[in-house]
């Protein structure tokens, strides 16, 4: 039971309501499909929402430090930057899938997804800390990269508002 609380916490830290529909399990035993199901089971959508909220907060801080009021910074963030991050969130889910496929065998993933055995719960619980760290690292890296790209994509609009697109959070 304790292991599933760890996974629930991990899921809550990572995501929220689904940003996109989870695909059906149409290829039983396929590690990628199992990884997707695993992510759905731990509530990865909650993590993505939390990650986007943290990224938004970082961007607002950067913009206010550049002379924007907090209200202006939030408006710029919500109009130009967060939509790009949200649209590209599935890329992060693919990175999470890569982590799971690397860290678990297909039978382990299948057993965890099906919640069949105590051994599966112990395996999942034993790797929870590592997965949390790997997911957090992937999320930070993705957020930084995509945030910078969102600034560049909207460079003209940001310049018209008196902002320098090169000030994107690193």
pLDDT recorded at residue 22: 45
Q: With CA atoms as reference, report the closest residue to 99 among 58, 51, 44.
A: 44
Which residues neighbour 39 within 8 Å (Cβ) at sequence distance 6 or greater?
A: 22, 93, 96, 97, 100
The residue count for the chain: 170
pTM beyond 0.85, yes or no:
no
Neighbours of 87 (CB within 10 A): 12
pLDDT recorded at residue 6: 41
Q: With CA atoms as reference, report the closest residue to 110 among 41, 16, 23.
A: 41
Tell me the C-alpha distance between 110 and 81, whole Å.
37
Structure tokens at 109: 């993933």
pLDDT recorded at residue 168: 60
Q: With CA atoms as reference, report the closest residue to 142 among 101, 102, 84, 60.
A: 84
Question: pLDDT tens track of the chain, all 170 residues?
Answer: 344 334 433 443 333 333 344 444 445 678 999 999 888 887 887 878 888 888 899 889 988 888 888 998 899 889 988 999 999 999 999 999 999 999 988 988 888 888 777 877 788 888 888 988 998 899 889 988 998 898 889 889 888 887 776 666 55
For 69, phi and psi rounded to 5 degrees?
-70, 160
Tell me the C-alpha distance between 100 and 112, whole Å.
12
pLDDT recorded at residue 23: 45
Burial, 117: exposed, middle or buried (Cβ in 10 Å; 0-12, 13-18, 19+)?
exposed
């Amino acid at each position: 039971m304790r292991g599933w609380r760890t996974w629930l916490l991990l899921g809550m830290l990572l995501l929220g309501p689904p940003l996109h529909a989870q695909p059906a399990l149409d290829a039983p035993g396929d590690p990628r499909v199992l990884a997707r199901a695993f992510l759905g089971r731990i509530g990865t959508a909650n993590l993505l929402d939390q990650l986007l909220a943290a990224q938004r907060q970082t961007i607002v801080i950067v913009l206010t430090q550049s002379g924007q009021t907090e209200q202006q910074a939030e408006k710029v963030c919500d109009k130009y930057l967060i939509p790009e991050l949200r649209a590209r969130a599935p890329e992060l889910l693919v990175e999470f899938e890569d982590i799971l496929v690397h860290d678990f065998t297909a039978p382990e993933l299948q057993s965890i997804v099906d919640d069949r055995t105590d051994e599966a719960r112990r395996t999942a619980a034993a790797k929870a800390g590592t997965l949390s760290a790997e997911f957090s690292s992937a999320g930070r890296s993705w957020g930084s990269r995509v945030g910078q790209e969102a600034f560049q994509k909207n460079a003209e609009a940001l310049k018209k508002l008196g902002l320098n697109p090169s000030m994107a959070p690193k």
